């Protein structure tokens, strides 16, 4: 039975990950326009991917904070809005070619590898590219990753009851896109941290039967 709710904006990369044979028993797609407390009641964790609809998340923020208040985990990636999150995200140019042009200067320069999501990851597995930075985070936040300028990439707080882990990395979207082939490492760590189940140690594959007429929504 699925343990992680993937808040879903109708974007294909979200769908590709949640319907991949490797993950489909652990993730449930939650269409953002239908999101309510009942939809998340039996879940252990929520994942809010990059390319989410921030305006609708703002409307539905009570669902997220009630979920945290119940002591559960929420993972947030990519951008966010101050309209629903007490943190300031700012856009920055995306550099997804640093490993070709400037391999000694990755977008993340410091990582707390003690965090369960990052334990045993290599630096390349812990950062591929970032979508912006946080210039302000909650006072209680623990900083997990920063860039060379000291700007926050990944942070975590327990101030809402459960654990909120936020990052400007985009593991869910990029793993769904499959143009970066080492993201099984990060997403498997993340999945295990969110729900306590380690996905099978294999590369993500696609089930073509769930595209088009066979779509599963």
Is the CB of 53 or the CB of 125 nearer to other proteins? 53
**103 scored as a contact of other proteins (CB under 8 A):** no
Is the CB of 201 or the CB of 212 nearer to other proteins? 212
Nearest to 195 by CA among 38, 101, 73: 73
**69 scored as a contact of other proteins (CB under 8 A):** no
Q: How far apart are CA 63 and CA 66, in angstroms?
A: 5
Cβ–Cβ under 8 Å, residues 190 and 171: yes
Cβ–Cβ under 8 Å, residues 71 and 96: no
- Of 101, 103, 104, 149, which one interacts with other proteins (CB under 8 A)? 101
For the bound state, the minimum distance from the C-beta of residue 153 to other proteins, rounded and expressed in Å, comes to 17
**97 scored as a contact of other proteins (CB under 8 A):** yes
Q: Segment 133-192, which members bind other proteins (CB under 8 A)? A: 177-179, 181
- Long-range contact list for 78-81, CB < 8 A, 24+ apart? 78/49, 78/50, 78/51, 78/52, 78/131, 78/132, 78/168, 78/169, 78/170, 78/173, 79/50, 79/54, 79/131, 79/132, 79/168, 80/54, 80/166, 81/54, 81/55, 81/57
For the bound state, the minimum distance from the C-beta of residue 61 to other proteins, rounded and expressed in Å, comes to 15
For the bound state, the minimum distance from the C-beta of residue 130 to other proteins, rounded and expressed in Å, comes to 14
- Of 3, 11, 112, 143, which one interacts with other proteins (CB under 8 A)? 11
- Of 3, 39, 56, 66, which one interacts with other proteins (CB under 8 A)? 56
- Of 21, 31, 70, 159, which one interacts with other proteins (CB under 8 A)? 31
């Amino acid at each position: 039975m699925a343990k992680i709710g993937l808040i879903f904006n109708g974007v294909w990369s979200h769908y590709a990950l949640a319907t991949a044979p490797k993950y489909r028993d652990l993730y449930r797609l939650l269409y953002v326009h239908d999101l309510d407390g009942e939809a998340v009641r039996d879940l252990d964790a929520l994942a809010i991917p990059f390319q989410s609809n921030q305006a609708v998340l703002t409307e539905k923020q009570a669902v997220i904070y009630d979920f945290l208040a119940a002591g559960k985990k929420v993972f947030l990636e990519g951008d966010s809005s101050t309209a629903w999150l007490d943190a300031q995200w700012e856009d920055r140019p995306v550099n997804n070619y640093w490993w070709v042009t400037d391999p000694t200067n990755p977008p993340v320069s410091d990582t707390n590898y003690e965090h369960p999501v990052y334990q045993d990851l290599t630096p390349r597995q812990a950062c591929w590219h970032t979508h912006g930075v946080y210039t302000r985070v909650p006072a209680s936040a623990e900083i997990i990753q920063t860039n060379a300028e000291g700007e926050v990439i990944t942070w975590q707080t327990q101030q809402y009851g459960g654990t909120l882990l936020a990052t400007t990395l985009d593991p869910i979207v990029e793993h769904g896109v499959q143009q970066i082939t080492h993201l099984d490492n990060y997403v498997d760590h993340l999945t295990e941290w969110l729900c306590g189940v380690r996905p099978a140690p294999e590369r993500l594959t696609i089930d073509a039967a769930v595209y088009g007429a066979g779509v599963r929504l």
